[in-house]
Amino acid sequence: MSKQFQFKLVLLGESAVGKSSLVLRFVKDQFDDYRESTIGAAFLTQTVSLEDGTSVKFEIWDTAGQERYKAPMYYRNANCAVVVYDITQSASLEKARSWIRELQRQADPSIIIALCGNKSDLSARRQVSQEEAKKYAEEEGLMWGETSAKSGEGVQDIFTDIAKKLPKSAPPSARTAGGRTATGARQGVDLNKQANATGGQGEQCNC
Amino acid sequence: MSPLLTVPSTPASSPPRGQAKSSIPSSKQSQLSLVPSEGEDPDAFHVRSTYAQLDLIGVKGDGVDDGVERTRARLGGSRASELLAEGALADETEKTRDLTPKERELLASLDRYGFFVTPSHDRLILLPAAPLRKSLARVASATAAPASAPLLRAPPPSAAPVKERERTAKWGRMLIAESRDQGSNVELWGIRLSKEPKLRERTFKGIPDCWRSAAWEALMNRFTKTGRRELRQLAEEYRLALDQPSTYDVQIDLDVPRTISGHISFRTRYGQGQRSLFHVLHGLSLHCETCGYCQGMGPIAATLLCYFDPERVYACLVRLHDAYSMHQIFSPGFPGLLEAIYVQERITEQMMPDVYAAFKKHMISTTSYATKWYITLFANSVPFQAQLRLWDAFLLEGHDIFVVVAIAIVWTYRDHITSSSANFESVLSLLSSFFVPEDENALLLWIEKVIADKKVRADMQTWRQDWRRLVSEGKDGSALL
């Protein structure tokens, strides 16, 4: 029997860059022109088989893009993060940068971060050049790739690349039959904690 | 003068002025021209003025065509894209021409609520009726059941409401016109006093769809104790809001085209439904400084737009915000959501201790699956017809209903949750699904019984107070699962 490893992956990025569409393509190989905006977060899983015979199961937390829903619980204890921007919206790369800064400050230091430029099928409307994004990713030591959730291009690659890069030294499957192991910590957003935390933080919603 | 300019859906605004970068080709620009307000973000202004312009001109093939994106993607400078954009605008014949055979076919394929029958990419599961035949009581759960419920490939069409003709007649006798406008059109609906004792039972049996707008209106007036004066005030507030800038316009515009886009009214980019949705959300974002616009308001507003004109939808949204606890739900940090979840957890702990223990064991926080239930009021979690019936009850009883709906779902799947083979993933996937009730009537009847139980209702009040006390004492941080 092949070894299976399990990791928590979180998707972050500005509203409407295609986070849920990337997940839908990756998990079900489907696409909707319009996906309803994600409220809170959506939980899905998908397994990637690697050439060396191991397989990696992702527990995916697809988060809401609106600032209002921002909750550190989603990336806390995440093993990897896919930070998504829209290649046709330069402002979305700025938002991605701010997510990456936050992850570098607050997330687990061993987190693997992939920067992902989505909507590559719309390259005629491109505002973010590959060079610019790639250069930034290299400077920050991030993985980088462009994807099209619509055509499927690059989607499998980015998740497979992450799967390859994740450390396989951890015991296979971080979860025992009884639930989370001590290090696994609890999953799910705790908006309660967020409500308490927002008071002291600089980043507030526009109200 | 073009007949298109007589459409009075947007009030005349500032005097015309040259538009530097419009999304509307100059040959089609109407006389309406907005100017940016002081300090208004250029992108936000671009959004606002595009919707206002298209309100006067209209779009081609509204409900059928996809339309052309003008705000998320600025129109390119090329002649080809300009022609494409111009071609998507309505022309003089748009409202008078005959439907094409393709359009007739499309209209015939819609369900009774106006939705296209398209394959769903959600995780669909049946919400079985059998568990709902047993009333809520303290129970022990089984461990031998499978951890997951069987997946459905496609949602079965919602069963046609039973006894619709009889019920339509009964509601016709129960609703009265409380006031009429100068043209003798009903302005305000109410419930006939002599029929009040029958109201609850009839509402839970399902309001006949042809009476739904009148009945919802009457229920809201009743619950919020508002009437003609308030509605006129809100109508005025809405008209004024249309001319004000909102810092949320860009975000609203991002969400509009992806809100119930499977419905014919909301399918076409910048079609009438999308424009109305933009306008009412824009108005609502200005109503409360604390809440502004929050994702989740869209599906609520879109559902209301299926029953009311935009001006009245705005009034409905304001009343949901002010009187149906939605202010607490949408405020930053979502205090009302956390309170509802606290109450939900207390009921679960009291009535289904094994389920509560299973949530604890698998470390599943209620926020991770129930957030969207409470924020969108079950839009996008159950079929549209079932959502409407939940809303019938909601508008009668208030937000407590949704706590009971949440309990109904947990109750229905309790043996899956406590299964010995259940785990974090199986439970969370189960509760994150799209639920297709096997029998809507069984679901509504179960909810009606729980909400009518004075003991349960009193407990809910107490727990709400407990939660507020915990919050005020700063002890809420560890009070939830």
Instruction: For A60-104, give the secondary structure using H, E and C.
Output: EEEECCCHHHCCHHHCCCCCEEEEEEECCCHHHHHHHHHHHHHHH
**Average pLDDT over all residues of chain A:** 85
Is residue B19 scored above 70 in pLDDT?
Answer: no
pLDDT in tens, B107-125: 999 999 999 988 888 899 9
* CA dist., res. B257 & res. B47, Å (int): 13
Share of chain B above pLDDT 70, in %: 93
Q: Do B423 and A179 touch (CB under 8 A)?
A: yes
DSSP sequence for B165-229? HHHHHHHHHHEEEEEE-TT--EEEEEE-GGGHHHHHHHHHH---GGGHHHHHHHHHHHHHT--HH
Domains of chain A listed by start with CATH number:
4-197 (3.40.50.300)
B170-214 per-position pLDDT tens digit = 999 999 999 998 999 998 999 999 999 999 999 999 999 999 999
Chain A residue with CA closest to B299: the answer is A36
Res. B245: pLDDT tops 60: yes
Query: How many degrees, rounded to 5, is the angle at CA B257 between CA B72 and CA B317?
Result: 115
Give the pLDDT confidence score for residue A205 in this predicted structure. Answer: 39
CA distances from B421 to A172, B415, B427 (A): 19, 11, 10
- Report the run of H or E that residue A42 belongs to, with start and end: strand A41-49
Is pLDDT at B365 greater than 60 in this prediction? yes
- Report the C-alpha gap between B209 and B189 in whole angstroms: 15
A64-95 pLDDT per residue, tens: 999 999 999 999 999 999 999 999 999 999 99
What domains, with CATH codes, occur in chain B? 167-323 (1.10.8.270)
Two tokens at A197? 């935390």
Mutate to test the interface with A, among B258, B288, B295 (most CBs of A within 10 A): B295
As a whole number of angstroms, the distance between CA A3 and CA A52 comes to 10
For B446-465, the pLDDT digits (tens) are 999 999 999 999 999 999 99
Cβ contact B332–A189 (<8 Å): no
What pLDDT was estimated at residue B213? 97
Residue closest to B47 by CA, chosen among B264, B268, B281: B281
Q: In the predicted model, what is the mean pLDDT of residues A180-187?
A: 37
Contact: B364, A35; criterion CB under 8 Å: no
Interface residue B255 vs chain A (CB under 8 A): yes
- Tell me the pLDDT tens digit for each residue of A101-142: 999 999 999 999 999 999 999 999 999 999 999 999 999 999
Average pLDDT on B381-395 reads 97
Tell me which chain A residues have a C-beta less than 8 angstroms from the C-beta of B121.
24, 28, 30, 32
% of chain A exceeding 90 in pLDDT = 78
User: Which candidate from B73, B292, B429 shows the least CB-CB separation from A88?
Assistant: B73
Residues 6+ positions from A79 with CB-CB distance below 8 Å: A7, A8, A9, A108, A110, A111, A112, A166
In the predicted model, what is the mean pLDDT of residues B359-368?
Answer: 96
Reported ipTM: the value is: 0.89
Of A39, A191, A198, the CB nearest to B338: A191
Q: Taking 70 as the threshold, does the pLDDT of residue B402 lie above it? A: yes
Q: What is the pTM of this model?
A: 0.91
Of A73 and A2, more confident: A73
**Token pair 């006939």 in the structure block, residue:** B192
- Cβ proximity of A92 and A68 under 8 Å: no
- CA–CA min distance B433, chain A (Å): 10
